[in-house]
A and B are shown apart, each in its own frame.
Chain A
Amino acid sequence: MKIFLIPALLLVLVSGCAEVKPWHRNILAQRDMQLVPDKIEAYIDDHIYFSKEASTGGSGIGGGGCGCN
């Protein structure tokens, strides 16, 4: 369970480091830069992996389940 300390430590290290003004965010607003740029692809992929692997989730919560696993 110590592995869950890693994200906390990394976040402490990077917080406050950035200096990004609103007029610097044009790249961040583009579709390719979204955390999930292709929702349909992500949904279908998640469904395949959910039906074939023992682990699931992580990127988000909620959504219809499946009797396949």
Chain B
Amino acid sequence: MAATKKNHRIKEQLALATCSLLSQQAGAIESNWTFDSSLAFYSETDRVSVSTGMIDLSGTLTEGNKIDVSAVYDTMTGSTPTGSVENSTVQTQTGVSGSGGFDSSGAPTSLAPFEDTRLAVKFNWEHENSGRFRTTYGGSSSVEKDYTSLGYSFGIALDSSSKLTTYEFGFAGAFDTISQTGGSTPDPLGDVTNSETYGEGHRNSYDLLFGITNILSPSTLWQNNITFSVSDGYHTDPYKVISVVGNEQDRQALINAALQDAADSRSVNVADLPADVVAAITRNFDAFEVEFTRLYESRPDKRRRTSWYSKLVTRLANNQTIHLSYRYYTDDWDVTSHTIDYRHTFKMGDDSWTFEPQVRAYQQSAADFFHRSLVRGESLPEYASADNRLDEVVGATVAVKFGKQIGDNGEVRFRIAGIAWRAEEAVYDETDAILFQVSMRLGF
């Protein structure tokens, strides 16, 4: 009995000694404060380019109080799909984000030029209430010419007595203001050539998160989150439009006119035209899609989202680390998606070099109000959007990152990623992008 008690005491002392040793090791690697910074350049083929600068400072303010402050500044330029089809009889084009909104000069186009900037800041404070219980408080803000967002978050984390499981609960709210540049929003499904405008749109969003992280072994972690989100208010993109294209009678009228021209040029009646000529002319109008009217899009004013996120982190032999995650997402707009992300980290040389390839695969179903276009003469739906991001989409990312440790507490990282999305029906169904990123971390 006495021997058991003694063993128990030795075990406790050993645990205490090991913990303090580990915390010293962690301190040597991580240091107390960390400054991280990054420059990134994102470019889509013939579309949007974004230059990003970001800084992040995190560390222990006082015992049991950690803070994390970050700021990001984006400069965006290029052109983006409006949602309209390419052939149009409408002599109006829509400018987008930050470009001044409406522009009635120039020819109709399904791409619109834009430029904008974004400044976003984020703050997080984690307070350790006891050895097993922590609370976090966060705030965020994001400002663009035509969009502002204010957000807050609150979270609690509770470790099990064995510290093998951490239970998390989080709540977040965000208040967004959306408009075209100048502060107005168009009439949903209003004709772009003659639309009424309203004031700014407002949207409130609330997120609820329940998470469990398990330590499965000395080298494996498993995280599971369930997130519920509710947003109410203005969800429409004030720049996006949808075309009302010609119907079957319009197509037939154009075919008849073309047949009449062919008959006139041959000095014969339409009925006497050779069958192969008639077939060839008719075929020319198989993909008939001419815009007769252009409407602003319209989206529901509510959205309920639910997701399950699962992530496994494990250390293999030779100091290799795997991050594997899966997300299932569904919402009441009928969008369901699956996302898989895999990262494999290799340590090289004297472990001061890091090489990390990454692949990500994404697939989503279309929103129930997505339409490539509407048809003239048919009744208008309550909601309609031709935004290619609401179409059925598959996406893939391939990336590599190189890291080099600098001194005891510094690291430089270079990353390049290729990203591609393919939509099913949208006018612009292909988006290809490349991302360059250089980052530097400094501990002090």
Residue numbers of A with Cβ under 8 A of B are 1, 3-4, 6-7, 10-11, 14-15, 17-18, 20-35, 37-41, 43-44, 47-49, 52-69
Name the distance in Å between B428's Cβ and chain A's nearest Cβ. Answer: 12
Complex interface: stretch among B257-265, B271-279, B302-310, B375-383: B302-310
Residues of chain B having any CB pair with chain A under 8 Å: 14-15, 18-19, 22, 25-26, 29-30, 36-38, 40, 42, 52, 54, 56, 58, 68, 70, 72, 76, 97, 116, 118, 120-122, 124, 138, 140-142, 144, 146-147, 149, 151-153, 155, 163-165, 170-172, 174, 176, 178, 205, 207-209, 212-219, 221-227, 229, 237, 305-311, 313, 315, 321, 323, 325, 327-331, 333, 335, 337, 339, 345, 362, 364, 367, 389-390, 393, 395, 401, 413, 415, 419, 421, 431, 433, 435, 437, 439
The chain A residue sitting closest to B207, CB to CB, is A61
Q: Which of A17, A29, A61 contacts B227 (CB 8 A)?
A: A61
Complex Cα spacing A46 to B37, Å: 17
Does B172 lie within 8 Å of A7, measured CB to CB? Answer: no
Find out whether the CB atom of A58 lies under 8 angstroms from the CB atom of B213. no
Separation in Å of the B370 CB from the closest CB of chain A?
9
Is the pair A52, B395 in contact by a Cβ cutoff of 8 Å? yes
B335–A54 contact, CB under 8 A? yes
Residues of A contacting B219 in the complex (Cβ-Cβ under 8 angstroms): 27-28, 33
Decide: B393 and A21 in contact? CB cutoff 8 A. Answer: no
Q: Given A48-B435, A65-B174: A39 and B26 within 8 A (CB)?
A: no
| Contact across chains for B218 and A28 when beta carbons are under 8 A apart | yes
Q: Is A44 a contact of B52 with CB atoms below 8 Å?
A: yes
Q: Which residues of A contact B218 (CB under 8 A)?
A: 20, 24-25, 27-28
Contact among B38, B147, B395 for A40, CB-based, below 8 A:
B38
Tell me if A58 and B225 are in contact (CB < 8 A): yes
Q: Which residue of A lies closest to B439 (CB)?
A: A40
Contact partners of A25 in chain B: CB under 8 A: 22, 215, 218
A32, A37, A58: which contacts B309 (Cβ < 8 A)?
Answer: A58
Contact between chains at B395 and A65 (CB < 8 Å): no
What residues on A are CB-neighbors of B330 within 8 Å? 1
Pick from B38, B118, B146, B163: contact of A44, CB below 8 A.
Answer: B38
